Structure formats: C-alpha cells, structure tokens
Chains A and B, each alone.
Chain A
C-alpha cells in the first residue's frame, strides 16, 4: 500500500516485504563443499533468486533447491563472471513460470512439472524436466537443450531461432498443443509422442504456422489438416536420422526407456516450404 490512497492501493506481489538475503542465507542454506541445499518453502521469487545468487557468489556450484512451489525465473539471475563457471541446479517440486529464462550455460534439472515459459529466450545450457511443461516452452530459444519427459502446452518452440554454432534443441517425450513451432526460424524440435496410443494422432493443430527455418521431427501420426500452410513433410534423410538417433538416446539417458524401441517407429520431418513465407504480400 502506498499509505496515501487506500481506494487505489497498490500491492506489489513481488517486491513487498522481502526478507533480507543475509538472513535467508543463514536460515535457508546448508552447504557442503561446493554443494548447497536450499529450502525454498514460502519464499517469494525475488527472495529465492537473491538467495541463489548469494549462494553462488559464496562459491557453491552445485545447488539443490527443495520445496519449490511456483517461484519464477530460477536460473535467470545467475549471469555471473567468470562465465566458465557453469552451475548444476536441481529443482525439487514445482518451479514457476519462466524457468531458466535467458539462461546462459547452466544446467537445470527439475523433478516435477514446470509451468509456462520454460527456457524463454535461452542462450545456452540445459533444462531437463522430469514431468510436463506449460505453454510457450522454448520461446525464442537461441541455444542449448531442453528435455521434457511428458507433454508441453500451446505455442511450444515459437520463434525458436539459430545463430552460427548455436542450434537449440527441444525434445518432448509426449505431445504438444496447438501452434507448435509457430514462426520457427531455426533449431531442432523432436516430438516423440510416447504417451499416445497406437494410431492416436498428435494433438496439435496449426503446426509450424509461419515457420521459416529449423526442423521439427515428429514420431507418430498426424493428419494433413494439423499442419500450418508454411510447412512441408519429408521423410528424414541420413543426417536427420543421425540427429534423431542422438537426441532420442540422450532423452533415454535422462528419463529411461529403450531408445531402439523408440527409434523403430516412423519419424516424419517437418520443414518450412519457404525461407520467406511473407515475401510476396507487399506492393513496392
């Protein structure tokens, strides 16, 4: 509250009544060498991220965060010199939105479900979710890898892009909702459909609408009407097969399962029909 204008009182859910980081560090963190265990129960997102930053500045490189319930932006604020020092972060329970947004090189493993915006504009690093993820997963992602064990929500991999040696990879074990790969400009998406019944099609419609780069590999069946106008379907060639093989094996390394059995099934490759889908709509 601003103390003056009760009628239009302004409550800041994020920043009001924060606990000081020193206090939190002494009460919430237990360290053992370079490993730190953090109890996030009831913390606001800024408190938790203050605490993560402080813990890393104190020299920890392996973090285990317990009792995470909805705290946002885990990993975002850990942009610290020296860049070479990559962190390993384990999240137990349920992180909030924008997990690993703008992530730069760290590895985050989630034992639970993730919400919206996983890996938003991620630059490098790795996010592994033992569960499902919400909408706009891997939005505008430019590099690194994301593995989701189960399903993802709407507009997954929207505007994913690639740049020189940076090619982002998203592997989803289940299926996705509408607008998968919309506006996609680069990178690799692998949709395995492991939780679909035999013959059950993927759920998404408008797959790859406005896509102008990158590739989506899809295991399982799909009807023509589920694809966006800007997408073409091809059988995978040898290079695609090598990619699929590699990332399916990585997926099974993280979550278990038999890679050969998964690879046995037919894969389809979705690519943009044009690199310039909207080049012809203007009069110059």
Chain B
C-alpha cells in the first residue's frame, strides 16, 4: 500500500566539494546515498534518511548537510506534522507505532528550574584541586543504628552489617541489554565501568560467560520477567542483582526482542533457541503484590547466600512514593526510579510519550516518604531517566538520590545522535544493531575510553560544584534540599520537590 509519507529530512550535497569517495554510501545502512558510476552522480533516497548524521560526520570534505524538513503541511499547532505522519503510517500498516530512545516531548525538565547554592563569605568554599573531595558512595542497606562493644580496651562493631557495593563516582551505567545494544557497545560499557571504578548494568539480556571473569565484579545483573540467562552462576557472579519491574520509557509494558535479532550469540547469552522471539511479559507473573515481590527479593538473596544487595527498578508513576515504601519493606536494598525521559531500544510511541511522570518529582517524593517513615537508611535510591549532565546528576543527589544511572548520555558519548530509530536494528553508529558490518564500527578499546573521559569530566565538575557549596563529601549533599532553589515553578511543584523558591 502506498503510505503517502513525506521525507523527514532534507539531504543536501555540495557538488563542488564532493570528491566522490562514496563514504556516505558505505556508511548508510538505510541506503540513502546511491552512486551511479556511469553517470558519475549520486542519487538520493531522502525518505529513508533518519537524520543520524553519520554521513555528515564522516564526509571528509564537509559536502553533506542533513537537516529536518519541518513544515510540509499547512502549519497547525494541534495537528502537528508528527501526528499526521503517524496517522498515515498507521493507516497504511495497522500497526503500533514504534520508537526508540527517550521522550522528546516538551514535558517540563525540572533540572532546568533548579539552581544550586554556593558559599559566599559566611562559609568558605573548597578548592577540590588542592583539598580532598570524597565522591565514593556505598550502595546497599545501612544499619538502623551503630552499636559498638568495647571489650578489653578494643572497640568492636556489634551491629549487623549488610552487603554494600562501593562506587568511586555515584554514576552507574543504566541497564542496556546485549541484544538491544551491540556487543562492542556492551563491552565498552563494561570496560569503562571497570576502569572508572563504577558499575554497569547488563539489562535482562544476560552476561556472556566469557565476560564474567573480568567484568562481573562491576556488573549489576537484571532478573526481569523474561528471566533470560538467569541461573545461579549468573546471579552469583554479579555485584548487585536488580529486579526489573518497570522502565521509564515504557512503564507497565513488557519487551519483545524480535526473532531476527536473536543471533547465535544473543541466543547463547539469553539461553533461548536462535531465531525465536524473546518475549518479556509485562508483569513478572510471580509478582502480583508487595508480598510476592518480597518473595522474589528473598529468593535472590537465598540464591546468592545473602552476599549481594538486591535492587528493584520501577518506573516513576503515580503513587510512586507509596510503591517505593512497599519495595523497601519488601526487603530491597536499592530502589531505582526511572523517570519518563528514560531511554529504550524500542517502545510504542504512545506509551513512551504519555505514560509516567518526571524523575525529579518522583525522586523528591520517594525520598521524603522514606524519610518520613524512618526507613530511608534501609535502601539506597538510584535515579535514572534523562540525566544529561553533571549538573543534573548533582541536583538528583541533592534531591535525595544516592547514585545516578546514566544511559542516554553514555550512548551519546559513544556516538549516538538520538535519531530515535533504535528499533530498526540499522544503527549506523554500531550501537543499537546486531549487523556485523555495522557493529564493527565501534572499537571497545576506543569507545570505552570516551566513556571513561565522560565519567572523569563529570566527576571533576561535580567536585567543583561541591567545593563551591562548601562541602567536601557527596554524602553531605545527599537529600540536602537547602542547597537547591527553584525558579519559574508553581507552588505545588516547589512543595513536591521540597525546595524553596529562589530568593527565599
């Protein structure tokens, strides 16, 4: 059926600069550029262009320019171009519109309305270049009280301690499974986490056996509704186990890794036959209540002999604070909250753009609720979903997070340009694809270095801002709303965030 869709991008080639090297043709998995040797000219298939800018970035003479083609239809604030294109696509196919990456709608980004404090006169600021500045964070349950027994002049810790995992910087790579992302991308995350002393999250696609010796020590492994690749060796090799209940980009729905992406290698790590769909049901069918969640949390603790913290990851939704309280009471050591701007490899557009709430509000509400109930020490809180910079990360910590998950930011550091076509499996940057021709564009040695650089620069920036606040440890900032002020926010928003307006 003819789909009546208009191209989304305009591709322009400056003929006087083009040297016919055909890099653009080789780099484009969508086959936008086609060179005709006889006529010595390029033909364009603009409607296939996704605007990933791979050809533009690699063109040696800067001859290419790809830009969005915005107002083909009569301008209309209600029936926008996106809405109309989607209607036409659905009319042609009868299918659910898919998308990738995170929510791009103009839902208020509260990070941009929160401002940090700095010391002036009454409290000295600290220079992190010359003075110690502690960013190390311990993830896991902390005891209610510290009991110390003194016998024969020696002090001994009498309180029961729970497994905790240190990270050198409170930044952890988000769950991105092998299968959703390519092996080189997955390995880059693992290598970077190891080098920087942080953690990476395997997602629910399993952890390849040959990576366990070297990288399991910095891995968070997931146990999700599909239970792919979950066995005792997998659970026991990891540092933290995460139960995935929901994902910010698609709260309340499961995942379908289509059979064509389940290659031999993916099949092996997920422990399923090659070529079958890897279906993750929407709920975990052994979890229909907080009591059931508790059952799985303790099953995982039993399976690992109580040596590893168990995390529970939920999407930020209505009543998230009450849910988080239940999760902590169910025995979780870490609660991860994924906001509406969290990314994904594939999600229905309607869900991604309309379901969930912003992380900032959810995080503040959860932190307040856990404090009010006197159980905040029983878990660490991880914030995920749309953390774009070190400033967002430090504001998240001030709002009450122990650590921050970074996913999209890490992908962008690897080359991603947020074209939102992750679900097609034709990522020209070699990140979100299983095509060997495309995946070899990523070299884990080099890409992991980019990620380490990212972490290093963020940690310097966080140290600078902490120094400016006059504190010398990230712990002193955690949940300290006094260091934040809001601008351009309504009263109810300030109340939920628990911050004063600027000037107060």
Contact = CB atoms under 8 A, between A and B. Distances in A.
Interface of A: 2-5, 8, 10, 12, 14-15, 45-46, 49, 53, 72-73, 76-77, 79, 97-98, 101-102, 104, 116-117, 120-121, 123, 136, 139-140, 142, 155, 158-159, 161-163, 166, 182-183, 185-186, 210, 212-213, 275-284
A15 B295 CA distance: 13
Contact of B96 (A72, A73, A282): A282
A283 B96 contact: yes
A212 B230 CA distance: 20
B142 to A, nearest CB: 12
Contacts of B279: 159, 183, 185, 210, 212, 278
Given A10-B329, A186-B272, A279-B259, A98 B299 contact: yes
A278 B256 contact: yes
Contacts of B286: 116-117, 120, 136, 139
A196 to B, nearest CB: 26
Contacts of A3: 144-145
B354 interface: no
B276 interface: yes
A283 B5 CA distance: 13
Contacts of A4: 144, 374
Contacts of A155: 285
B389 interface: no
A134 to B, nearest CB: 11
Interface size class of B (residues with CB under 8 A): 35 or more
Given A4-B374, A76-B299, A79-B232, A140 B227 contact: yes
B271 interface: yes
A79 B303 contact: yes
B16 interface: no
B235 interface: yes
Given A10-B375, A77-B302, A185 B272 contact: yes
Interface in B259-302: 259, 271-273, 275-277, 279, 281, 285-286, 294-295, 298-299, 302
A117 B295 CA distance: 10
Nearest to A124: B231
Contacts of A158: 281, 285
Contacts of A161: 227, 271-272
13 contacts: A3-B144, A46-B302, A49-B302, A72-B298, A72-B302, A73-B298, A159-B281, A186-B273, A210-B279, A281-B96, A283-B95, A284-B423, A284-B424
A102 B232 contact: yes
Interface in B304-350: 305-306, 329, 331
A161 B279 CA distance: 11
Interface in B121-146: 144-145
Given A14-B331, A183-B281, A123 B303 contact: no
A2 B97 contact: no
Contacts of A12: 331
Contacts of B424: 284
A117 B93 CA distance: 41
A121 B227 contact: yes
Contacts of B93: 283
A185 B95 CA distance: 24
Nearest to A75: B302
A97 B296 CA distance: 10
A136 B273 CA distance: 23
Given A159-B227, A185-B276, A5 B374 contact: yes
Contacts of A120: 286, 299
A186 B271 CA distance: 11
Contacts of A277: 277
Nearest to B145: A3
B90 interface: yes
A49 B298 CA distance: 12
**Top 8 closest pairs, chain A to chain B, by CB:** A283-B95, A5-B374, A140-B227, A283-B93, A163-B271, A79-B232, A73-B302, A8-B373
A16 to B, nearest CB: 11
A49 B423 CA distance: 44
Contacts of A15: 331
Contacts of A186: 272-273
Nearest to A122: B231
A277 to B, nearest CB: 7
B95 A281 contact: yes
Contacts of A183: 279, 281, 285
B332 to A, nearest CB: 12
A101 B230 CA distance: 11
A123 B232 contact: yes
Given A10-B375, A275-B277, A283-B97, 12 more contacts: A8-B373, A10-B329, A46-B298, A46-B306, A79-B236, A155-B285, A163-B272, A212-B277, A213-B273, A275-B259, A278-B277, A278-B279
B89 interface: yes
B98 interface: yes
Contacts of B281: 158-159, 182-183, 210
Contact of B98 (A2, A77, A284): A284
B187 interface: no
B486 interface: no
Contacts of B92: 283
B68 interface: no
Contacts of A101: 299, 302-303
B45 to A, nearest CB: 16
B479 interface: no
Interface string B80-109: 000000000110111111100000000000
Nearest to A98: B299
A167 to B, nearest CB: 11
Contact of A280 (B95, B259, B271, B302): B95
A161 to B, nearest CB: 6
Contacts of B258: 276, 279
Given A282-B95, A283-B96, A162 B299 contact: no
A210 B236 CA distance: 31
Contacts of B373: 5, 8
B288 to A, nearest CB: 9
A8 B306 CA distance: 25
A155 B90 CA distance: 34
A97 B295 contact: yes
Contacts of A14: 294, 298, 331
Contacts of A77: 302-303, 305
B226 interface: yes
Interface centre among B277, B286, B329, B423 (most CB of A within 10 A): B286
A5 B376 CA distance: 12
B378 interface: yes
A63 B256 CA distance: 42
Contacts of A104: 231-232
Contact of B276 (A79, A117, A213): A213
